[in-house]
Structure 1
Amino acid sequence: MVDGHRTFVIIGGGLAGAKAAETLRAEGFTGRVILIGDENDHPYERPPLSKGYLTGKEKRDSVFVHEPAWYAAADVELHLGQTVVSIDRGEKAVHLGDGTVLHYDKLLLATGAEPRRLEVPGTELAGVHHLRRLAHADRLSRVLGSLGRDNGTLVIAGAGWIGLEVAAAARGYGAEVTVIEPEATPLHQVIGPELGQVFAELHRDRGVRFHFGARLTEIIGHEGAVLAVRTDDGEEHPAHDVLAAIGAAPRTALAESADLELAERAHGGGISVDAALRTSDPDIYAAGDVAAAFHPLLGIRLRVEHWANALNGGPAAARSMLGQEIAYDRVPYFFSDQYDLGLEYSGWAPAGSYDQVVLRGDVGKREFIAFWLKEGRVLAGMNVNVWDVTAPIQDLIRSGARIDSETLGDPSVPLASLGK
């Protein structure tokens, strides 16, 4: 029974916001919980949008965080399809686009991120797509089915995780795929050239064409339809549809207009929060893709855009809002599925941060673990078609111990025995 003595408002109808609402109730909060989302769909998880749901292996209902009836049963007030236009920190009020004003005692910003747009001629054409929302996946799955039936071509701008996962899904439908990427290999900034070539070969084996070292500069169309794309090296590629997969930007407009502190671009942008996920306003918190949190383990501020951060960050923020002592120090984690390859990545090792890559297993068979090290310490590990090793990999990262590279690369040495 809600007693209404306190009101907690959550802006953002994604995984972080939904799990925060769930946690507030699980921790015994009896005040009002209000969840605001600018989409008409109930809160859902994003990984299936480029994986199971897009490939047709999972049904649409599988993406939702909770059954629709859960929200009423948990006394969570939903405002779906609503835009928040402003936050009044002085009055502790949230103003919605329909004129509704909601007062809060604590506020959580879980506004997520939005896909970056291609700033080239032709982006207004009907066959240009982004993939961030469920409606995008609904549309793109229909497009991929049509391309597969008609031997059509999808051009993907960007060879990051989303670009590669959509490429795999498109090939599953039978569509032709060309990926345009300015770097020399896929995932260059994430896993470096040492491992990027593995993914290039994976996709080439399935018929994907890559055009590296070039940027898409124009989308050519006729009567509203896409015909081809041009790149900055003068090449022209046939296309029936184009996907912009060039990253995402944190949705910080509300925070900025409310004069909350934002993180520097070097830290990924986003809303600056401490290890307890508090913003520069003690009654406002942020979690998920939009939050740039100080990480106690890594000793840096970073913004993580992956599923696990929303899954765990939302509950951590909820507990912090309740006054619990929180130090959010989860090892960053994400996963990807492409064809018959599955992987898990733990840690943080952006380009330029490591001085050695150690491989354990059979790279040719795509059954291996890669480790990124700095001065003998494991910064990150990625297991490819090798399972049940996430915990020992994360233990190595947490330990900060210097590890002999030959021992680390020896499959006969149990990972759990290292770093002790």
Structure 2
Amino acid sequence: MAAETKKSFKFVVVGGGIAGVTCAEQLASQMPSADVALLTAAPLIKAVCNFKQVSKTLEEFDVEEKPSSVLEGKYPNLRVIQSAVTALHAQQHTLLTLNGLEIHYEKLCICSGGRPNLLTHDNPHVLGIRDTDSAQEFQKRLSKAKRIVVVGNGGIALELVFEVEGCEVIWAVKDKAIGNKFFDAGAAQFLIPSLDSDKPDRAATCKRVRYTVESPGGTEGLTIATERKPSRSSMLNEPGSALGPDWHEGINLRGAEEMSHRVSVEYETEMKQIYTQQEFMLLSLESQTAVTDSWPVYVELTNGKKFGCDFIISATGVVPNTEPFLHGNNFEVAEDSGLKVDDHMMTSEPDVYAAGDVCTAGWKHSNLWQQMRLWSQARQMGWYAGRCMAADILNETIELDFCFELFSHITRFFNYKVVLLGRFNGQGLGVNQELLVRCTKGHEYVKVVLSEGRMLGAVLIGETDLEETFENLILNRMDLTPYREELLNPNIDIEDYFD
């Protein structure tokens, strides 16, 4: 008897990353009598664990990579189907998958994430880091490398240049300072000395268990699986789910040299040209320039400098992974190529929702919130989308979740705790802002953004313990004019001051 090729579910979620898994879990737990399907191209799913609500809007959590059977065991009404989506027929409420399934849904949520915005897709010496497979490939290549070039100035680049040891790193950033997506030039100057110092010893084991395809029981750390069969997602050239926070923990990021980490930053420059070894030798002969060393690949930057290296890391962000959902459908697509969603995470197609990196928040934002395609926002959007889908089925009204009232993100860079609140970089304020800064070298960096006497944003680097107090001051929209001189006074316990 032939296998059944048509299936029907009340809720279908596409994507095994943080947004998709969170959405599916929310639906399965809120509506235990409804059939929920989670479609994922990868064999493993990403699940949030050790969740901690730090304050009203700040959240901390780890990400575990798990076999899908763990989810199915936890939620009897949840079915995980491992297959890539090849087509969506939104008017017919039908999805087609690579393994030949036709899936009918009542409500659909697209959580297909983003794909790396690679410098080039056809050069074997250019590597992007997005999912577990690419992180493993990076670890493997790095172990034999003496020099790498990192292009990009986002979160992955910031983490990577600090973690790599035993290998020279040339870091090309297009801005005047590192990490300008997350903080200003002052904070960048505070962090730069960390690139020249030895990293503190860290526990050898990873705080999250990671799994390979071959050993679902799991091992500590990240194992490179041998003789691994290519997954359907890799055959389709589709990335797996995003890595999530602290992706580098438990991975040995050491190159072939004995040195600690050595990073050279090239500011205000971008990639101009990539040369093979043969191309570069010919170029050198034509220009009568002596080549003193030989590398597998060479780069030319827009500042005129040329470097040879073992390979190039393209850490230049992601683009919404909207394929293959657009074909034959009438989605409203935002300028940044994301699926535009309203304040209930609904797209322009009937009964189709979207959450995480694939979508663009199309509602009128709070003046203290902005979308940044971070794993914290992927979790929030996935959770809220699940609530909205269930509310629609139950004919219940639902308000925009409070997490969209204030932008807040907590992470670690260069071994420092980093908290970002509100308009932390004065986004959109122009000259109508005042900055208060407190900096103690090697210990903390605190910046407050004020406008018309009210706190609109903050950057906190180090163990400042100010996040909850500053969050309250931002949300309360309190006029701080009488207190501005005392806000960052280290001799005053600001928490008690405004208690």
**Is 1:237 paired with 2:296?**
no
Query: Residues of 2 paired with 1:383 and 1:215: CA distance?
Result: 29
In structure 2, the CA distance between the partners of 1:184 and 1:369, relative to structure 1 (3 Å rule), is: same
Q: Which residue of 1 aligns with 2:297?
A: 227
In structure 2, the CA distance between the partners of 1:221 and 1:214, relative to structure 1 (3 Å rule), is: same
1:258-269 paired onto structure 2 within 5 Å:
258-265=329-336, 269=337
In structure 2, the CA distance between the partners of 1:277 and 1:212, relative to structure 1 (3 Å rule), is: same
Unaligned runs of 5+ in 1: 47-61
2:24 to 21, 26, 29: 21
Contact 1:190/1:351 (<8 A) preserved: no
3-state SS, counterpart of residue 183 of structure 2:
helix
After TM superposition, give the deviation of residue 30 of structure 1 in Å.
1.6
Q: Which residue of 2 aligns with 1:209?
A: 264
3-state SS, counterpart of residue 342 of structure 1:
strand
3-state SS, counterpart of residue 197 of structure 1:
helix
In structure 2, the CA distance between the partners of 1:391 and 1:256, relative to structure 1 (3 Å rule), is: farther
After TM superposition, give the deviation of residue 299 of structure 1 in Å.
4.5
1:179 to 171, 183, 202: 171
After TM superposition, give the deviation of residue 260 of structure 1 in Å.
1.6
Contact 1:14/1:45 (<8 A) preserved: no
Q: More deviation in 67-76 or 127-136?
A: 67-76
- Per-residue CA deviations over 1:227-263 (Å, capped at 9, x if unaligned) read 3211112211231121011111112334533212222
2:434 to 344, 356, 359: 356
Q: Which is bigger in relative contact order (C-alpha 8 A, separation at least 6)?
A: 2
3-state SS, counterpart of residue 298 of structure 1:
coil
1:249 to 308, 314, 319: 319
Q: Which residue of 1 aligns with 2:489?
A: 410
In structure 2, the CA distance between the partners of 1:27 and 1:414, relative to structure 1 (3 Å rule), is: farther
In structure 2, the CA distance between the partners of 1:67 and 1:353, relative to structure 1 (3 Å rule), is: same
1:53-202 paired onto structure 2 within 5 Å:
63-64=63-64, 66=66, 68-73=68-73, 74-75=75-76, 76-80=78-82, 82-119=83-120, 124-147=122-145, 152-171=146-165, 174-202=166-194
3-state SS, counterpart of residue 39 of structure 1:
coil
- Compute the RMSD of aligned alpha carbons: 2.9
After TM superposition, give the deviation of residue 212 of structure 1 in Å.
0.6
1:251-330 paired onto structure 2 within 5 Å:
251-257=321-327, 258-265=329-336, 269-294=337-362, 298-299=366-367, 302-323=370-391, 324=396, 325-330=398-403
In structure 2, the CA distance between the partners of 1:255 and 1:400, relative to structure 1 (3 Å rule), is: farther
Q: More deviation in 9-18 or 251-260?
A: 251-260
In structure 2, the CA distance between the partners of 1:295 and 1:416, relative to structure 1 (3 Å rule), is: farther
Query: Residues of 2 paired with 1:32 and 1:186: CA distance?
Result: 47
In the alignment, residue 435 of structure 2 is paired with which amino acid? V
Contact 1:157/1:246 (<8 A) preserved: yes
Q: More deviation in 204-213 or 240-249?
A: 204-213
Query: Residues of 1 paired with 2:312 and 2:378: CA distance?
Result: 28
| Structure 1 length-normalised TM | 0.83
Between Structure 1 and Structure 2, whose CA radius of gyration is higher?
2
After TM superposition, give the deviation of residue 367 of structure 1 in Å.
1.4
In the alignment, residue 189 of structure 2 is paired with which amino acid? Q
Structure number with higher helix proportion = 1
Contact 1:185/1:200 (<8 A) preserved: no
Query: Residues of 2 paired with 1:185 and 1:6: CA distance?
Result: 49
Query: Residues of 1 paired with 2:330 and 2:425: CA distance?
Result: 30
After TM superposition, give the deviation of residue 285 of structure 1 in Å.
1.3
Query: Residues of 2 paired with 1:28 and 1:16: CA distance?
Result: 18
Q: More deviation in 269-278 or 239-248?
A: 269-278
Contact 1:402/1:419 (<8 A) preserved: no
After TM superposition, give the deviation of residue 337 of structure 1 in Å.
2.8
In structure 2, the CA distance between the partners of 1:368 and 1:357, relative to structure 1 (3 Å rule), is: same
In the alignment, residue 316 of structure 2 is paired with which amino acid? I
Contact 1:260/1:271 (<8 A) preserved: yes
In the alignment, residue 95 of structure 1 is paired with which amino acid? L
After TM superposition, give the deviation of residue 22 of structure 1 in Å.
1.2
Query: Residues of 1 paired with 2:265 and 2:189: CA distance?
Result: 11
- Per-residue CA deviations over 1:317-374 (Å, capped at 9, x if unaligned) read 11110115141341333333344323222334456524233223x3312313222333
In structure 2, the CA distance between the partners of 1:413 and 1:284, relative to structure 1 (3 Å rule), is: farther
In structure 2, the CA distance between the partners of 1:254 and 1:332, relative to structure 1 (3 Å rule), is: farther
After TM superposition, give the deviation of residue 297 of structure 1 in Å.
6.3
After TM superposition, give the deviation of residue 11 of structure 1 in Å.
0.9
In the alignment, residue 211 of structure 1 is paired with which amino acid? E
Q: Which residue of 1 aligns with 2:292?
A: none
Query: Residues of 1 paired with 2:144 and 2:48: CA distance?
Result: 25
What fraction of aligned residue pairs are identical, expressed as a percent?
A: 21
2:458 to 377, 381, 388: 381
In structure 2, the CA distance between the partners of 1:207 and 1:6, relative to structure 1 (3 Å rule), is: closer
Contact 1:294/1:302 (<8 A) preserved: no
Q: More deviation in 276-285 or 126-135?
A: 276-285
Query: Residues of 1 paired with 2:496 and 2:331: CA distance?
Result: 45
Q: More deviation in 239-248 or 336-345?
A: 336-345
3-state SS, counterpart of residue 312 of structure 2:
strand
Contact 1:359/1:368 (<8 A) preserved: yes
In the alignment, residue 416 of structure 2 is paired with which amino acid? L
Unaligned runs of 5+ in 2: 1-6, 50-61, 198-260, 280-294
Contact 2:330/2:348 (<8 A) preserved: no
Contact 1:367/1:384 (<8 A) preserved: yes
Query: Residues of 2 paired with 1:100 and 1:418: CA distance?
Result: 61
After TM superposition, give the deviation of residue 204 of structure 1 in Å.
4.0
| Structure 2 length-normalised TM | 0.70
Contact 1:189/1:351 (<8 A) preserved: no
Q: More deviation in 233-242 or 177-186?
A: 233-242
Q: Which residue of 2 aligns with 1:49?
A: none
Query: Residues of 2 paired with 1:161 and 1:372: CA distance?
Result: 22
In the alignment, residue 407 of structure 1 is paired with which amino acid? E
